[in-house]
């Protein structure tokens, strides 16, 4: 490795700094040199901006790093003869820090693509920087619908699901169950606003009403006052428009306040298998949730998830399965186009259908949204569960055209060019 390459790499927090094995770099005199005309600097560098110790760490964190490294290893560790390197940093849920890291990575750091960012607020600014620097940004963990609406970018892809898809999957089902009046406990950020707004709109479309909301800061220390407001509203549904440890803490507090089980439905709008496992079935049983993936859906999901478990010590959630799929899709695009240059690679990614263990018949639209079927699950009772991670039962499949916002309603300028 040249001194210049070593200096660039020193600016990063690489996997070895996290105590996790990184894809090995190739030494001087290997096949990296002949790829220089096709691969920008002889390496393909993939960046991840992940919450490693904060409220979203269990949803992303080291398990997402494991999924990304698994995708690279399964691809053979190189593409077009060039080594693939994984670069990881924790923006500490700060948009300013995420922006600083993205500018460095897309500049002297020579990162070719950022393939995930933990939070929507951070993702919005990283996506914008990627657009100005002509760099690919693919997002698995963020959920805000505005990422492919007002903030859409020609170099960005939103891969797992968004708040509109969550709303259209779960809200009609809960209203049909009898939950017609809703109160929201919402995290005070872009993701929370979008999830509350999208879900409230679907509730109204389904014949329900919204009685109010209470908003809390990210990683709030206490949820008693917000739950008191929700209880006093007498809403039939208390909808949690938050995520990660905030959702867990809200539900645990509701259980301590004897609100769960109780007369009001507690709807964790962003529950995943890892959260259910952390809560325990005695608390979470009977809850319904919307998701893009569950590890125990079929032979393909089980086979991949068992390999993931061997690496990460836990079953994957939809963000980790999505990240593996998106990195594989990205590397396949580089292999097909014969280059890591942004324009041909993003075009190849958007043109190719996605069929793997994560999704079937997925495709990336003009606004950058990857659309696919969504799923409604119910949390199993302890009696129904046969193992520690056997926590969900499939209730319904919601077709992509029903789950995701129609392209005709998109606010993305790439779909509806702005006119003066």
Q: Rounded to a whole number, what is the distance in angstroms from the first to the last CA of the chain?
A: 51
Residue 353, CA distances (Å) to 31, 145, 284 in order: 31, 22, 36
Q: Are 346 and 154 in contact (CB under 8 A)?
A: yes
> Is the fold of 3-161+298-369 the same as that of 164-291+373-404?
yes
| The pair of three-digit structure tokens given for residue 20, joined into one six-digit string | 């996790």
Higher pLDDT: 216 or 420? It is: 216
Largest CA-CA distance found in the chain, in angstroms, rounded = 71
Q: Are 145 and 403 in contact (CB under 8 A)?
A: no
Q: Is 237 helix (H, G, I), strand (E, B) or coil?
A: strand
pLDDT digits (tens, 9 = 90+) for 125-177: 999 999 999 999 999 999 999 999 999 999 999 999 999 999 999 999 999 99
Q: Are 267 and 240 in contact (CB under 8 A)?
A: yes
Integer Cα distance of 281 and 195 in angstroms: 25
Q: Is 402 helix (H, G, I), strand (E, B) or coil?
A: helix
Cis preceding-peptide flag for 261 (omega within 30 of 0): yes
Q: Are 364 and 370 in contact (CB under 8 A)?
A: yes
pLDDT digits (tens, 9 = 90+) for 73-123: 999 999 999 999 999 999 999 999 999 999 999 999 999 999 999 999 999
pLDDT of residue 93: 95
Which CATH number, 3.30.70.20, 3.40.50.300, 3.20.20.70, 3.40.50.2300, labels domain 164-291+373-404? 3.40.50.2300
Q: Is 370 helix (H, G, I), strand (E, B) or coil?
A: strand
Integer Cα distance of 284 and 260 in angstroms: 9
pLDDT of residue 410: 93
pLDDT digits (tens, 9 = 90+) for 227-272: 999 999 999 999 999 999 999 999 999 999 999 988 899 999 999 9
Q: Which residues contact 63 (CB under 8 A, 6 or more apart)?
A: 274, 312, 314, 316, 317, 320
Kindly report the pTM of this predicted structure.
0.90
Architecture of domain 3-161+298-369: 3-Layer(aba) Sandwich (3.40)
pLDDT of residue 205: 97
What's the mean pLDDT when you consider all of the chain? 91
Binned at pLDDT 50, 70 and 90, residue 417 comes out as: low
Residue 234, CA distances (Å) to 7, 71, 226, 230 in order: 60, 47, 13, 7
Residue ranges covered by each domain of the chain: 3-161+298-369, 164-291+373-404
């Amino acid at each position: 490795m040249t001194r210049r390459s070593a200096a660039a790499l020193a600016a990063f927090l690489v996997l070895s700094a996290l105590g996790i094995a990184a894809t090995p770099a190739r030494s001087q005199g290997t096949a990296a040199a002949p790829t220089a005309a096709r691969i920008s600097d002889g390496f393909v560098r993939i960046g991840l901006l992940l919450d490693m110790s904060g409220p979203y760490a269990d949803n992303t964190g080291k398990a997402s790093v494991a999924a990304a490294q698994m995708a690279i290893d399964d691809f053979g560790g190189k593409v077009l003869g060039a080594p693939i390197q994984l670069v990881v940093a924790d923006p500490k849920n700060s948009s300013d820090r995420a922006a600083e890291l993205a500018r460095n990575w897309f500049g002297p750091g020579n990162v070719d693509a950022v393939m995930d960012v933990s939070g929507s607020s951070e993702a919005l600014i990283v996506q914008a920087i990627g657009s100005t620097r002509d760099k690919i940004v693919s997002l698995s963990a963020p959920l805000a619908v505005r990422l492919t609406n007002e903030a859409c970018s020609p170099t960005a892809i939103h891969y797992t699901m968004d708040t509109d898809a969550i709303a259209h999957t779960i809200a009609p089902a809960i209203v049909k169950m009898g939950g017609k009046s809703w109160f929201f406990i919402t995290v005070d950020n872009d993701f929370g606003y979008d999830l509350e707004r999208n879900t409230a709109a679907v509730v109204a479309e389904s014949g329900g009403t919204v009685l109010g909301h209470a908003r809390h800061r990210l990683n709030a220390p206490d949820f008693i006052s917000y739950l008191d407001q929700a209880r006093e509203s007498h809403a039939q549904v208390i909808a949690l428009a938050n995520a990660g440890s905030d959702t867990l803490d809200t539900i645990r507090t509701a259980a301590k306040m004897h609100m769960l089980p109780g007369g009001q439905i507690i709807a964790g709008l962003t529950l995943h298998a890892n959260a259910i496992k952390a809560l325990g079935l005695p608390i979470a049983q009977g809850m319904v949730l919307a998701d893009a993936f569950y590890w125990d859906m079929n032979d393909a999901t089980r086979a991949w998830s068992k390999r993931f478990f061997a690496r990460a010590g836990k079953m994957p959630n939809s963000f980790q399965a999505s990240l593996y799929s998106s990195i594989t899709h990205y590397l396949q695009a580089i292999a097909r186009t014969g280059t890591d240059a942004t324009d041909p690679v993003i075009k190849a990614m958007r043109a190719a259908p996605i069929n793997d263990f994560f999704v079937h018949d997925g495709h990336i639209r003009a606004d950058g949204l990857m659309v696919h079927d969504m799923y409604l699950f119910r949390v199993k009772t302890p009696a129904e569960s046969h193992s520690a991670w056997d926590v969900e039962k499939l209730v319904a499949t919601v077709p992509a055209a029903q789950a995701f916002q129609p392209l005709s309603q998109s606010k993305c300028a790439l779909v509806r060019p702005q006119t003066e």
